[in-house]
Each structure stands twice: as structure tokens, then as C-alpha cells.
Chain A
Amino acid sequence: MAKHKTPLIDQLESGPWPSFISDIKLEAESRAKNEKGLDYQIPRDVCEDLLGVLELSYKDGRTHWKHGGIVGVFGYGGGVIGRYCDQPQMFPGVAHFHTMRVNQPSGKYYTTKFLNDLLNIWELRGSGMTNMHGSTGDIVLIGTTTPQLEEIFWELTHNMDTDLGGSGGNLRTPSCCLGQSRCEYACYDTQELCHYMTLHYQDELHRPAFPYKFKFKFDGCPNCCVASIARSDLAFIGTWRDDIRIDQGAVKAYAGGEIPSNAGAHAGRDWGPFDIQKEVINLCPTGCMRYEGGKLEINTKDCTRCMHCINVMPRALRVGLDKGLSILCGAKAPILDGAQIATLLVPFVKVEEPYDELHDIIGKVWDYWMEEGKNRERVGELIKRNGMQEMLKRCDLEPIPQHVQEPRANPYIFWREDEVPGGWKRDIVEFRKHHQR
């Protein structure tokens, strides 16, 4: 018998999709039975009370969570997010209901042992409920009490060799696509770089350094499987400088329908015969391709590496050999100001240890933002407020056409006086020799 009657949220189980309400009920039931005979360290009915407070919120149309707190583990300013229920008498099981963020492994590769160990800790010391994974990418452990925080932290770091993730005005848990481990498109080793940066910037990850959150994401190619271009303050996106490699024989095979396009991904329905002109050439965003006389040509100078043609014909087209990454800056979700997609900062960097060029840009972006950024202002908003030109100047970057997306959107990059020989001063006498009044 359920502890609270929850008719409103029960309705959420009626759709065809998996329901988080069913999941919570399952965990509530498992805790009630306690088949493993665990000595639960937080209230056994935590899941029941979570359902109860959620039902109340649906009834009232308002939240019953208090936001934030001083909780954390010693020496860390991130990784724990304090949450308290504002109806603790009604729902004592969730009076404290803190979230813990745990750093996920690069590319999210797990062993079953790791997952079992993690859940063993969390069933005993937390609610047993997880979110795999949060928007930032980390493992999110939902709901525990203040006294359990240090215990969980100790076990994670000592027994499981992992660490808390970021929260607050910190570097957030960096995340990456699975990259070269499984994907032929990957232009650099995203897992390696993500892991390296996570270790290198430990202090920024664990101790607040910034006006607001700051995210790194690493995508191996412009397909952006971790959505770095939309969801990170600094996006490291794999790219190449030379030509797309073309296997003309395979192009013909695609055009003739012998190889299914998009690796067969559209097989669920009959879309008619593949039309290379319509589905590849005409959809190239820069119009830089041509297919004539059974030969495909690409004008590399105009190609923006959008990946479309490669995605459609992966056996015929491959990314180039001169690989590296582009750095883009300033994406964000629409919380304070509008949503923003990242802006190109550095078009091409070779990904080579010790990653000096990357550290150099990261350092300059942080210096500028720490100095000029307002409280709770993301770096993308700072760029918008002070202009791209100022951002480039602070990063010691020369403006290039790729920094200007399109005229009338942001074409205003002006010469500064010190860049112009002689500055703004003109010799009027000399001028008048050539120009009448």
C-alpha cells in the first residue's frame, strides 16, 4: 500500500513511454521489501515521500523545494547541491534531499562492476535514485542527507577511484563524445583530451573561481554528439584542414543504389531510390560540391565541414588527414538571457601534447571573463555585451572573416587606432594637396 495517495502523478504512467513515476515506485517497493537486508542510512520511505511531495506540487502548482544551502564535502565548493523540502513534517523522508554530482568516465564507458559498486553505495547511503546522466554529462545521484555526504565522498574517492563533479561558479564536469574509441569520424582523441583537462583543471572544478558556471565539451567532429556547440562555454570540435577523402568507386555505388545511404539508417520506410543530386549535392550548405560524369568534386576552400555529405555516404567520403580541432566560445541555455550557439574563436589547432595552444586560449578567456564578467553572466553574454572584437583582443587573436558570421548580424570589427600607421591624425596640408575644399 502506497504511503501517499498520488492520483495526479499516477496519470503520468498512462502514456506509451517509460515513466519516471513507475521508476520511483519500483525503488520505493524495493526499499520497503529490503531483500538484501540493508541497514538504510537515510529514511527507508524516501521514495514514497518524494512521490508525496511531487503530488502536492502538482496539486498546488508550485514547488516545495528550497533552493540551495551550505552543504558540501570538506574542501570542495562543488559537486553537492543542497536541497530541502519546505514541508518536512508532511514528508520527513525528503526533509534533506541533496543531489551529488559524480564525474562520469570519459565517453561514459562503464564496467558492470563500477555500476554495481556505485549503486551499492547509493542504495545504502542515498535514495537509490539516479539520473544517468545529467545535462552536463555527469552521474547524478538524487537525494541524500547531510551526514551521508562525507561518507559517500570517501567511498567514491577511495574505493571507486572517481571524484565529484562540478556545480556552482566552477568549471563543470567536462564531457566528451566517445570519439576514436568507436567512431571513424573522430578527428582527435576526445576521451584523452577530456580526461586530461578534467585532471589539469581540478582546482577550477572543485573550488569556485568564476562569476558563474563554465563548461568544456569535446566533440570529435562537427556532428557534435555531446552538443558542444550548443551547450558549452568552450567547445572543442574536431575538424580537418585538407580535402575530404573521396572514393569515387564508392560514390558511384551510392549513386547507383548499391550501398544504402546513411549506413541504412533510413531503412524503416521506403523513401524511393537514392538521388545523389537532391540528397547530397543540393543540400551542401555552401554549394561547394558537383557530381558530373560519375565524378564527385568538392571545392575544399568553401566546405565548412558540416559533415552532411560524409554522413550520407560514409563509405565513399572520409574526413581529411590533417586533423585537429576548432575552438568555439559562448553557447548557453536560455536561463537568464536568450539561448546562444557558440561563436568561432580559433579555427584550427593541432591536438598535440602538452596542449599549449589550448591552455593559452582557456587562460585568456578565463582572465577576461573573471575580470569583466558580471555576477551570473555567462561568457557568451559577456561577448554579446562587449562585442566580439573585445573578445578577440583579449585572446590576442586577429579577426578573420570566419569571426563574422554574416553582414548585419555582427560585422562590426573596426581597426583600432594603434593598428593604423599614423593613427587617426592626418596632415591637413598634405590632404589638401589632393582634395579641394
Chain B
Amino acid sequence: MAIADEQAAKDTIVEALKKKKGKTKFYLKDYYKMLPDEKLMDVKRLVNQMVKEEILEYWSSGSTTLIGLKGLGKQHATEEDE
């Protein structure tokens, strides 16, 4: 089962991210909450798709992965600790 209206789902994610104050990068789980009615694997696929489309970008510590709007916030070093 895929997400029925992908564009709407993408917009929901971008809107939700723009509303967040302070932090700019989020765990995959936070994206699940933005689309509560969709299956987790589908949200995962969509989020990774949005990275490919360069709407979002990954941030990785090496052990953990965070995802945020491309170009926003710190580009390296630990965001959580600063």
C-alpha cells in the first residue's frame, strides 16, 4: 500500500517542519507523527524520496540519523548538544 496523495503528504511534512521552532533536524519517528494515518514503511519511503528530491537532507552522527529541511541549521557537529 502506498500513500494515496503523495504531494499532499509532502506538503504536510514541509509545513510541519517549517512550524518547528529551534530544532531543525528530526528523527524518522517524528515524521511518522506528521502522517499518523500512513504505514510506517510508506512514510519512511516518502521521507527518503524527499531527500532524493533535495527537499530534505540527512544528518548523521555515524550512529544515529536525523532528517531536516535541506540547508537549514547546522551542517556539521552535534545539534542536540548545542
Contact = CB atoms under 8 A, between A and B. Distances in A.
**Do A and B come from the same complex?**
yes
Interface of A: 66-72, 74-75, 77-78, 80-84, 99, 167-170, 203, 207-213, 335, 367, 370-371, 374-376
Given A66-B77, A68-B77, A75 B58 contact: no
Contacts, number: 96
Given A75-B52, A203-B48, 13 more contacts: A70-B57, A82-B60, A99-B62, A168-B60, A169-B65, A207-B51, A209-B28, A213-B63, A335-B63, A370-B44, A371-B40, A375-B29, A376-B64
A81 B62 contact: yes
A212 B45 CA distance: 16
10 closest cross-chain pairs (CB), A and B: A69-B76, A168-B65, A68-B61, A81-B62, A208-B65, A207-B48, A169-B65, A66-B77, A168-B60, A375-B27
A77 B64 CA distance: 11
Nearest to B76: A69
A82 B61 CA distance: 7
Interface of chain B, main secondary structure: mixed
> Which of B58, B59, B60, B76 is the most central at the interface, judged by chain A CB atoms within 10 Å of its CB?
B60
5 contacts: A67-B62, A68-B76, A210-B28, A212-B63, A375-B29
Interface string B13-30: 000000000000001110
B25 to A, nearest CB: 9
What interface size band does chain B fall in?
20 to 34
Interface in B32-77: 40-41, 44-45, 48, 51-52, 57-65, 67, 75-77
B29 to A, nearest CB: 6
> Which of A80, A208, A210 is the most central at the interface, judged by chain B CB atoms within 10 Å of its CB?
A208
B75 A67 contact: no
A11 to B, nearest CB: 29
B31 to A, nearest CB: 10
A401 B62 CA distance: 39
Nearest to A369: B40
Contacts of B58: 70, 72, 77, 168, 208
A99 B57 CA distance: 19
B7 interface: no
B64 A70 contact: no
A139 to B, nearest CB: 16
Contacts of A207: 44, 48, 51
A167 B65 CA distance: 8
A68 B62 contact: yes
Contacts of A371: 40
Contacts of B78: 66-68
Given A212-B63, A367-B40, A69 B29 contact: no
B62 A77 contact: no
Given A77-B58, A167-B60, A167-B62, A67 B77 contact: yes
Contacts of B28: 169, 208-211
Contacts of B75: 69-70
A70 B44 CA distance: 18
B69 to A, nearest CB: 12
Given A69-B60, A169-B28, A208-B58, A77 B76 contact: no
A72 B60 contact: yes
Contacts of B51: 75, 77, 207
A210 B40 CA distance: 10
A209 B40 CA distance: 9
Nearest to B65: A168
Contacts of B65: 77-78, 168-170, 208
Nearest to A208: B65
